[in-house]
Amino acid sequence: MSFSRSLAARSVVAGLLVSLLVVVALLVVLRALGNDQQAAREARRTAAVIASDNRVEKLVIDLQTAERGFVLTGSDDSLKTWNGARAALPVELLRLHRLVRDPAQEVLANEIVRDVRGYVEHWSKPQVAIARVDRERAAERTVRGGGKLRVDDLRKHFSDFSARQQAITDDATERATATGDRARTVAIAAAGGFGALILLYVCYLTQAVLLPIRRIAAAADRLARGDLSARVAIRGRHELAELGRSFNTMTDSLQSERERLAEAITRLAREHGDTELYSEFGDQLAAETGLAAIAETILRTLADEAAAEVGALYVATDPDETRMSLSATRGLPSRLLSEQLDLGVGLAGRALAERRIVQASHGGTGLPLFSFGARLVVRHELHLPLIYGDRLVGALSFGRTSEDTFSASDVRALERLSERASVALASALSTREVRRLADLNRAVLDAARDGMVLLDGDQRPVLVNATADRIYTETIGVSAREALSLAPEAIGAYMKDPTAYVATSEAISVEPDGETRDEFELRDSGRCFERITAPVRDAAGDPIGRIEVVREVTGERQAERVKNELMATVSHELRTPLASVVGFTELLRERELDEPTRRVYVDTIHRESGRLSALIDDLLDLQRMERRGVELARDHFDMGGLIAEQVGLYSAQSTAHELAVELPPTPLMVFGDRDRLAQVLGNLLSNAIKYSPDGGRVTAEACCESDRVTVSITDEGLGIARGQQEHVFDRFYRVDRSDEHQIGGTGLGLAIVREIVEAHGGRVGLEDAPGRGSRFWFEVPAAAADGAPGFEVRRGRVPRSP
């Protein structure tokens, strides 16, 4: 708004104008009053002039009278009066001269002064002077009237002067009166004009300010009473118009705000309804834990919301989210729907792949479906992906049979509910995954060979695997949790070395950071366990507790023990023949011996060297087999023939035993390494002979059962205790028997037997022979019986060698 249009400016200008007018009027009045005063002053001065003139006239008359009196009488009184008048005259004349302003009057006054002076000097003074001397003469002169003429002339002057002065005074007075009248008129006019101006100003103010303000106030009042339609009509561009416009703008905005509020309230009310549904949906989902139940709830609620008669929910049951499985259906039998939904396949697959809602309508004909016997025609489809974060957790498909399409608000409501559904599904899937992983972890832990216990800081078990429970139950008869609540002494009581167990257990319980490892052996069963403990920290490095891993090492310890023992045996077996070789060699070197003795010594050395050699051969053989596996040179041959051959060989070596062979009439063809199997037979026969008492019978038998050839060697020895039977094929294992007599051998023969037979894909075994003794057997796969035996098989009892 420009200044000239401002109401304030206008008011100021109007105010200034009024003030100016008032000042002008006042000046006029003051001027008039000044004139009036001047006129009065003039009148007063005129009166003073007249008075002075009168006094001069009176003095002149006094002078004339006294002069005349003196002349006539010569009295001193008259002279005194004359002298007084003469003395007063100059003063009075000066006053008169001073008082006169008017130029004409001044001329007149000058004439009067001149004439008076003239009269005094030229008449009166000389007359008095004459009178003093000669009163007669003086009287004469008086009669001649010289002096009287002059006085008359003077009196005429005085009269003229007075008259003219009076005229001037009158004129001045008249002028002053006129001026005063004019001043009054001006003053009255000014007062009137002033009042009118004020009235005008008031009117203006009323018109320009008061009325608009009143209108605004009235509108504000209406506004205050809630009438938002109140508006103010003020034209112009001044402040009040501006105020009015502001008011109107304000009410406009209030009105629109109220309309918006009303809309918002309506929307809120609607949303409140939605929220209730949403919240109820949330509650329902929260109440369910199973994936299937959650899927049902989701489909039911969203299908209701979508007013869809048919629907299906597919859930991402596999972790890579590319495939969804049908989890719930509505209005359709599930067999009508595909069990799987692949990403990008079909409308629902597209919704998933593109992560957006996909809609389709089927036009007039619709998509006919058979729903539980009834025929449905789906007119509109809607497919909605369920997304949680970045994860696709499922897909919803809905079908409507009505003509109504899915509206934008339907879609919004579905989207809103689908968020909740996605969260619930994701959570259920996570729970399922977590449970699956937990089960997996549990299964792995339980399947572990090691017993595992996680103890928290207070030594309470947090985790116990099944193996730990089994170990504790087997060894001390209580579960791991119970066992761990026992004092170390209570558990130590089961140990072979309770003190060591207790000491280590206590050391572990006070060891906060280090790893520990110890081993203990059960007193009764001899079972050995290795115990390893270590602190466990979480991902952040904070201590969780301590894990105790208990592993049974009975087998390892036993194997070690067996190995150590048998190494000692091997050492013994090696050193014994070696001692003979070394000893006899030394005797041969150091002593003078006769020939027969030397012969005996050399024979002994030779024999013992052979023993050594055989032992070393067996050891190396077995070691090679262990290391590289048995290298077989396979061929087709008749096992019966090989048995007969080996029995024949051993019969020739031992005359103390009876060896028999029992074989079926047909060849026992096998595909194997003939030399290796000969070694097997040799070892078994040699053992049987060794462990049979002299005169004992050793029987070799063989038969073919379906696809296997079984060979057995039965002796009549002492037999082998049941508990030891399973170990006889172990390397370095020796049957412990109290009546053990000198039995050669390396303890490796049966181990070699097992290696060779197993390399052929066969088995070895041992059982008690009927009556007395043992029956060692082995079986190897039979070869196709196409080849004839390569040699004649001897049957029956093997003839003794001579």
Partner 1 sequence: MEPKILIADDEPTMRALLRATLDGRGVELFEAADGATALALAQHARPDLLFLDWMMPGLSGVEVCRRLRAQPETAGLTIVILTARAQEADRQEALAAGADDYVTKPFSPLALLEKVRATLGARAVS
Q: Shortest gap between Cβ of 553 and partner 1 (angstroms)?
A: 21
Minimum distance from CB of 738 to partner 1 (Å)?
7
Q: Which is nearer to partner 1, 608 or 755 (CB)?
A: 608
Among 668, 649, 673, CA closest to 659: 649
CB of 753 to partner 1, least distance (A): 25
Q: Is the dihedral of CA 619, 620, 623, 625 positive or negative?
A: negative
Q: Which of 563, 479, 519 is nearest to 733 (CA)?
A: 563
> How near is the Cβ of 569 to partner 1 at its closest, in Å?
8
Q: Which is nearer to partner 1, 487 or 579 (CB)?
A: 579
Sign of CA dihedral 209, 215, 216, 221: positive
Q: Which is closer to partner 1, CB of 438 or CB of 582?
A: 582
Is residue 483 a contact partner of residue 491, using CB atoms and an 8 Å limit?
yes
SS3 content of the chain, % helix, strand, coil (to 5): 60, 15, 25
- For the chain, how many helices (H) and strands (E)? 21, 21
Structure tokens at 334: 């599930």
Residue 796 beta carbon to partner 1: minimum distance, rounded to whole angstroms: 36
Interatomic CA distance for residues 435 and 417, integer angstroms: 27
Half-sphere exposure for 302 (CA within 13 Å, toward CB): 36
Q: Are strands 310-315 and 669-673 parallel, antiparallel or unpaired?
A: unpaired
Output 255 or 569, the one with its CB closest to partner 1: 569
CA 387, 388, 393, 398 dihedral sign is: negative
The helix (run of H) or strand (run of E) holding residue 777 is strand 774-781
Binding site for partner 1 (CB under 8 A): 568, 571-584, 586-587, 590, 597, 601, 604, 607-608, 738-742
Least distance CB 742 / partner 1 (angstroms): 6
* Cα gap 102→114, rounded to integer Å: 18
Whose Cβ is closer to partner 1: residue 580's or residue 699's? 580
DSSP-assigned beta bridge partners for residue 700: 661, 713
Min CB(464)–partner 1 separation in Å: 39
Q: Write down the least CB distance from residue 724 to partner 1, Å.
A: 17
Q: What is the 3-state secondary structure (H, E, C) of 636-691?
A: EEEHHHHHHHHHHHHHHHCCCCEEEEECCCCCCEEEEEHHHHHHHHHHHHHHHHHH
Q: Which is nearer to partner 1, 538 or 739 (CB)?
A: 739
- Give the residue with the Cβ less far from partner 1, 167 or 593: 593
Sign of the Cα pseudo-torsion (671, 675, 680, 685, in order): positive
User: Which residue, among 738, 755, 744, 742, has the nearest Cα to 574 in the 3D structure?
Assistant: 744
State the nearest-atom distance from the C-beta of 720 to partner 1, in Å: 17
For partner 1, give the closer residue by CB, 449 or 741: 741
- Three-state SS letters, 420-454: HHHHHHHHHHHHHHHHHHHHHHHHHHHHCCCEEEE
Compute the least distance from the CB of residue 690 to partner 1, in Å.
14
Nearer to partner 1, 178 or 574 (CB): 574
Q: Write down the least CB distance from residue 615 to partner 1, Å.
A: 12
Nearer to partner 1, 4 or 742 (CB): 742
Strand partners, 21: none
Nearer to partner 1, 422 or 580 (CB): 580
Shortest distance, CB of residue 657 to partner 1, whole angstroms?
Answer: 20
What minimum distance in Å lies between the beta carbon of 573 and partner 1? 8
What is the spatial distance between Cα 265 and Cα 269, in angstroms, rounded to a whole number? 6
Residue 100 or residue 720: which is nearer to partner 1 going by CB?
Answer: 720
Measured from the CB atom, the residue of 565 and 658 that comes closer to partner 1 is 565
Q: Which is nearer to partner 1, 744 or 799 (CB)?
A: 744
Nearest distance from residue 741's CB to partner 1, in Å? 5
Nearer to partner 1, 407 or 742 (CB): 742
**Helix (H, G, I), strand (E, B), or coil: what is residue 413?**
helix
Non-local (6+) Cβ contacts of 238 within 8 A are 1, 5, 6, 7, 10, 208
- 629: alpha, beta or left, given left = phi > 0 and alpha = psi -120 to 50? left
Least distance from C-beta 607 to partner 1, angstroms?
A: 8
Closer CB to partner 1, 109 or 581, in the complex: 581
Helices within 206-238 (DSSP H only): 211-224
Closest residue by Cα to residue 309 from 366, 354, 350, 357: 366
Residue number with CB closer to partner 1 (462 or 587) = 587
Environment class of residue 526 by beta-carbon count within 10 Å: exposed (0-12), middle (13-18) or buried (19+)? exposed
Shortest distance in whole angstroms from residue 687 CB to partner 1: 17
* Cα 615 to Cα 566: distance, rounded to the nearest angstrom: 13
What's the closest the beta carbon of residue 601 comes to partner 1, in angstroms?
Answer: 7
CB neighbour burial string for 555-570, b if at least 16 within 10 angstroms, e if fewer: eebeeeebeeebeebb
Instruction: Tally the C-alpha atoms within 13 A of residue 724's C-alpha that lie toward its C-beta.
Output: 13
Q: Is the CB of 46 or the CB of 580 nearer to partner 1?
A: 580
Bridge pairing between strands 697-705 and 658-662: parallel
Whole-angstrom distance, CA of residue 588 vs CA of residue 592: 8
Residues 421 and 386 sit within 8 Å (Cβ to Cβ): yes
Beta carbon of residue 554, minimum distance to partner 1 (angstroms, whole number): 22
- What is the three-class DSSP state of 720? coil
